[in-house]
C-alpha cells in the first residue's frame, strides 16, 4: 500500500533568523516528496499546497480536547506586526503567518480523520511547526498545537472500538502528547528519547500498564545511542508491548533529530534505523497508520531519514 503524503505550505510560520525550526526543513522535504511521487513510491495527497484563509472553527473543533479554548483563542487572535516574531517561550516564535499555519494543520488533521473514517491506510503529514511539546495551555519547544494528541483524542471519540498506540521516536520526550493522553483508556503512549535532556521529563517514573494493555512506556536512552542500541529497544521493548496491546490505529510522532548529523540531538542514529522503524509498523495490522513530522534540524539528514522511513513503511 502506497503511503499518502501531505505537505503543508513551508513558510507561513516563522521563528526568526537563525532558528533551527526553519522553512528549509519543509522545502527540502517538498523536493523529496515530488521525486518519490514521480518514481511512484508515494502518493501525494490532495491537501498539498492548501492555504486556507479561514477555518477558525476547524481549529477549535480539532484541538478542543487537546488544548483549552482560552489557549487556542490566544493563538488565533494574537496581533503580530508584519515582519516581526513574538517569542512565546525562549525557543518558540510566533509570526504573522503562524495563525494560518495552525489553520492549515487543523485542516490537514481533519483530512486525516476523514481518511481514517473511510479507507484507513498509511499517511505521512509534513507540517510546521512540530507539536509534541505543546501543552494544554501553552506552547513549548518550537510547538504551538499538538497534532498527535489531537489525532488520538478525535479517533477515540469517533470510534468507541478504537485502540490507539502512539510511538514518539523524536530524540526529545513527547511531554505534551503524554500529558494530553495520560488519563485515556484504549491508548498506549510509547516514547523513546535522549535522557537526561530537554525537556527533562520521561524518566520512566510515570510508566504504567493498564488492564486493557494501554498506558505509558517512556524509554529514556542516553546520549550516544546508536542504531544497535535503538534496534535492541525496538525489538525487546517496543514491539512486544505493541503486539500485546493490539492497536487498531497507530500515530507516529516522527522526529528525525536523533540522526547523528542533527545539530540538536546527541544520538548517533542513521537512516537505517528509521527504515527499520518504518518496516516494523505494517505487520502490526492496524487499519490506519498516520505519522506527523516532529523534529529533524539538519535538512539533508532529515530528507534522507524521511526517505528511508517512507521506504520502510511503504
Nearer to Zn ion, 96 or 218 (CB): 218
CA distance 130 to 221: 22
Q: Is 295 in the site for Zn ion (CB under 5 A)?
A: yes
User: Among residues 133, 173, 193, 259, which one is catalytic?
Assistant: 133
Binds Zn ion (CB under 5 A): choice among 147, 172, 193, 259: 172
Per-residue contact track with Zn ion, 63 to 102, x per CB under 5 A? ----------------------------------------
Binds Zn ion (CB under 5 A): choice among 257, 262, 271, 307: 257
Q: Is 170 in the site for Zn ion (CB under 5 A)?
A: yes
Nearer to Zn ion, 95 or 194 (CB): 194
What is the 8-class DSSP label of residue 284? G
Q: Which residue has the cell 513527547?
A: 174
Binds Zn ion (CB under 5 A): choice among 93, 174, 255, 314: 255
**133 assigned to active site:** yes
CA distance 294 to 25: 11
Other beta carbons within 10 Å of 72: 22
**DSSP one-letter string for 217-265:** EEEEE-TT-BHHHHHHHIIIIIHHHHHHH--SEEEEEE--TTBTT-SS-
Nearer to Zn ion, 71 or 169 (CB): 169
What is the 8-class DSSP label of residue 303? H
Q: Is 262 in the site for Zn ion (CB under 5 A)?
A: no
Q: Is 249 in the site for Zn ion (CB under 5 A)?
A: no
**CA 267 remoteness from chain centre:** 19
Gap between the terminal Cα atoms of the chain: 6
Q: Is 174 in the site for Zn ion (CB under 5 A)?
A: no
Task: For residue 118, give the C-alpha cell.
Answer: 473511510
Nearer to Zn ion, 81 or 90 (CB): 90
**CA 4 remoteness from chain centre:** 16
Q: Is 132 in the site for Zn ion (CB under 5 A)?
A: no
- Asked whether the beta carbons of 111 and 124 are under 8 A apart, the reply is no
Q: Which residue has the cell 528519547?
A: 193
Q: Which stretch binds Zn ion (CB under 5 A): 50-58, 89-97, 101-109, 251-259?
A: 251-259
Cite the active site residues: 133
Contact positions toward Zn ion, by CB under 5 A? 170, 172, 255, 257, 295
Amino acid at each position: 500500500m502506497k503511503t499518502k503524503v501531505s505537505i503543508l505550505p513551508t513558510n507561513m510560520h516563522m521563528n526568526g533568523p537563525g532558528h533551527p525550526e526553519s522553512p528549509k526543513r519543509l522545502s527540502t522535504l517538498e523536493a523529496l516528496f515530488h521525486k518519490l511521487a514521480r518514481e511512484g513510491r508515494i502518493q501525494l495527497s490532495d491537501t498539498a499546497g492548501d492555504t486556507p484563509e479561514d477555518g477558525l472553527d476547524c481549529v477549535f473543533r480539532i484541538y478542543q480536547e487537546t488544548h483549552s479554548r482560552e489557549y487556542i483563542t490566544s493563538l488565533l487572535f494574537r496581533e503580530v506586526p508584519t515582519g516581526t516574531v513574538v517569542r512565546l517561550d525562549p525557543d518558540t516564535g510566533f509570526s504573522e503567518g503562524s495563525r494560518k499555519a495552525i489553520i492549515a494543520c487543523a485542516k490537514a488533521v481533519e483530512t486525516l480523520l476523514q481518511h481514517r473514517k473511510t479507507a484507513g491506510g498509511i499517511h505521512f503529514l509534513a507540517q510546521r511547526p512540530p507539536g509534541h511539546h505543546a501543552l494544554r495551555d501553552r506552547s513549548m519547544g518550537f510547538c504551538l498545537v499538538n497534532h498527535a494528541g489531537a489525532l488520538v483524542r478525535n479517533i477515540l471519540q469517533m470510534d468507541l472500538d478504537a485502540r490507539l498506540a502512539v510511538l514518539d521516536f523524536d530524540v526529545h520526550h513527547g511531554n505534551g502528547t503524554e500529558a494530553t493522553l495520560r488519563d485515556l483508556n484504549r491508548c498506549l503512549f510509547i516514547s523513546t528519547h535522549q535522557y537526561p535532556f530537554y525537556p527533562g521529563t520521561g524518566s520512566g517514573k510515570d510508566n504504567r500498564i493498564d488492564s486493557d494493555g494501554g498506558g505509558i512506556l517512556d524509554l529514556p536512552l542516553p546520549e550516544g545511542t546508536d542504531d544497535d542500541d535503538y534496534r535492541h529497544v525496538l525489538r525487546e521493548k517496543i514491539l512486544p508491548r505493541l503486539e500485546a496491546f493490539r492497536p487498531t490505529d497507530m500515530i507516529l510522532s516522527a522526529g528525525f533529530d536523533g540522526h547523528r548529523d542533527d545539530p540538536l540531538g546527541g544520538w548517533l542514529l542513521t537512516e537505517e534505523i528509521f527504515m527499520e522503524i518504518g518496516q516494523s509498523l505494517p505487520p502490526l495490522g492496524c487499519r490506519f497508520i498516520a505519522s506527523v513530522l516532529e523534529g529533524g534540524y539538519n535538512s539533508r539528514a532529515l530528507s534522507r531519514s524521511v526517505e528511508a522511513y517512507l521506504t520502510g513503511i511503504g
